[in-house]
Amino acid sequence: MSQVRVRFAPSPTGFFHIGSARTALFNWLYARHTGGVFILRIEDTDKERNSEQFLNVIYESLRWLEMNWDEGPGIGGAFGPYRQSERAAVYAEYLEKLRAAGRTYEKDGATWFKLIGDRHEVFDEHRKKTVTKVNVAPTVIQDQIRGRVERLEDEDFVIVRSDGNPVFHFVNVVDDIAMKITHVIRGEDHLSNTSKHVELFKAFGVPVPAFAHIPLILKQNGPGKMSKRDQGALIEEYQKRGFLPEALVNFLCLLGWNPKDDREKMTISDIVALFDLPGINQSNARFDEKKLAHMNMSYLLELPEEKFLERATAFFRAHPAGGAALADAAVFREVMRLAQPKIKGLEELPAYTAYFFTDDFVIDAKVQEKVMGKGDPKARLGELLGALPSMNFSNDSAIEEAIKSLAAGKGLGFGDYQAVTRLAISGTNAGPSITSMFRVLGRERVRVRLERLLAA
RNA sequence: GUCCCCAUCGUCUAGCCCGGUUAGGACGUCUCCCUUUCACGGAGAUAACCGGGGUUCGAAUCCCCGUGGGGACACCA
């Protein structure tokens, strides 16, 4: 068989969302799995709704998710241009073929595609108008995922608007022919359009590509498919929130596809090796951000220290808290080492580590009430403060030993000092071990914080 | 309304094609363990074959009908 050629064909009429990304991903995976070609084609024939801003979001999101395209904008290729707004000549040429074959006619200033068969008028209750039906046999669609689907396509349809611009169905098919697309992998919302497309392919006298209509992604709450306006729908949102692209890709693969065993976390090369069209599900999947978050945490946890530092640095650079956090590279590195095994996502970092970078941190009132109401926390603070000047701050275990021996001298344990000390130096009840916090903060800042709570 | 697609735990899913499983895994939730807090991790628990008919010795699995969900019905893509 000749080389697989697939395309992802977004229209830049809105932000790039989860569903589009998954469609792109399945196309990309299939190309990589088969050693084929992944083409990016921009379907910007709707002049009213297109915008350069949305176009850039598409490019940026695809690059972020590392779905590199082999042909398309910025790359070129033998079948360009790859933006439909620049392909008018191609459409004119193909329109002429259809016209020559007697498959078009003009009506109301637009060009219509003519079905072959006897015609009769029918009043359509739903559309409240009289339409012309054509007696035709049902169009058969052979779908790689759904099997054989029959659909009656029995009305002529517009292929070129009265303003001269060709419509989606026409340009989509023309480009698939011109770009020698072998497999059309797209959302199931296009299944109903496919009969139009098949009739066009047939009218052009070319073989119909293989179709694979993948299930849709439903919004996490409420009815319907996910759309650009839904909460958690936008790819760039995840990028901004510091999700790891490899985690998002892995998660997206699992929405509608799986390796047929218990594996979930897989490297992209494993996925490429295992992915295939017949393995794709037929039913829609609901988006579950909790599972994405879990996947993300799992990837974050196994990131090498240096990689984590890189990602965290990039995240803080784009964050309001970044200035303070990144002021001292050595401290930042230490704090990130402490934070990596503890957090679920990079977006937790600023709040989780704030007290390392500022002395003006918030003290959690609820935690304070709880901690200060048990035992004699102020006595413990006083004792610790007394021991502080002679404490060896060079490493965690030295600090731990110092606190333990202080505790032992009073007939207490490490735990009796833990909560109140943590509250004093971080304002909360969750975080790295207090010995690490001591070491990173340093004696002087610890002293000030202990005294502050003691005086409160 | 018409047409098309789909249907296993709350969610993502394995199993279905080639009928016989204690219907498996993951996320979530809960419990316990680990522990210097919080996470991580470990052990366990929770929870599903949409309904009804057939076919069959036997149906999650095959067939039909309902029901439910989704999509499409533009001179949008």
The separation, in Å, between residue A155 CA and nucleotide B49 C1' comes to 41
The separation, in Å, between residue A321 CA and nucleotide B35 C1' comes to 31
Phi and psi at residue A424, in whole multiples of 5°? -65, -45
Q: Is A224 (CB) below 7 Å from strand B?
A: yes
Encoding tokens for residue A6? 């697939």
Give me chain A's average pLDDT, please.
93
Residue predicted with more confidence, A145 or A1: A145
Residue A51, pLDDT > 90, answer: no
Residue A122, pLDDT > 90, answer: no
Task: Write out the DSSP string of A421-437.
Answer: HHHHHHSSS-SS-HHHH
Q: Is A137 (CB) below 7 Å from strand B?
A: no
Question: Average pLDDT for residues A154-179, to the nearest whole number?
Answer: 95
Q: Which of residues 320-349 of A touch strand B (CB under 7 A)?
A: 341-344
- Which residue is nearest nucleotide B72, judged by alpha carbon to C1' distance? A192
Question: Average pLDDT for residues A147-171, to the nearest whole number?
Answer: 94
First to last CA, chain A: 78
Nucleotides of B under 7 A from a protein CB: 1-8, 10-15, 24-28, 36-41, 69-77
Question: Average pLDDT for residues A215-243, to the nearest whole number?
Answer: 88
Binning pLDDT at 50, 70 and 90, where does residue A345 land?
very high
Lowest mean pLDDT among A107-111, A120-124, A448-452: A120-124
Non-local CB neighbours of A383 within 8 Å, separated by 6+ positions: A406, A410, A417
The separation, in Å, between residue A204 CA and nucleotide B61 C1' comes to 43
pLDDT tens digits along A390-444: 898 888 999 999 999 999 888 888 988 999 999 999 999 999 999 999 999 999 9
A76: β partners: A72
User: Given this model, what pLDDT does residue A291 score?
Assistant: 96
pLDDT tens digits along A56-107: 999 999 999 999 999 999 999 899 799 999 999 999 999 999 999 999 999 9
Lowest mean pLDDT among A168-182, A333-347, A365-379: A365-379
- CA torsion sign for A18, A23, A29, A31 is negative
Burial of A228 (0-12, 13-18, 19+ CB in 10 A): middle
Residue A111, pLDDT > 80, answer: yes
Residue A1, pLDDT > 60, answer: no
Binning pLDDT at 50, 70 and 90, where does residue A349 land?
very high
Residue A33, pLDDT > 80, answer: yes
Task: Give the active site residue among A228, A344, A378, A404.
Answer: A228
**Angstrom distance (rounded) from CA A127 to CA A149:** 25
**Nearest nucleotide relative to A166: CA against C1':** B75
Q: Is A140 (CB) below 7 Å from strand B?
A: no
A228 carries an active-site annotation: yes
- Answering whether pTM is above 0.80, one says yes
Lowest mean pLDDT among A88-92, A285-289, A307-311, A367-371: A367-371
Short-list A152, A185, A181, A387, CA closest to A278:
A185
**Angstrom distance (rounded) from CA A244 to CA A267:** 13
Q: Is A446 (CB) below 7 Å from strand B?
A: no
Question: Average pLDDT for residues A364-388, to the nearest whole number?
Answer: 89
Short-list A384, A372, A404, A34, CA closest to A210:
A34
What letter would DSSP give residue A5?
E
Q: Which of residues 356-385 of A touch strand B (CB under 7 A)?
A: none
The separation, in Å, between residue A115 CA and nucleotide B51 C1' comes to 42
Encoding tokens for residue A203? 């009218």
Residue A46, pLDDT > 90, answer: no
Residue A262, pLDDT > 60, answer: yes
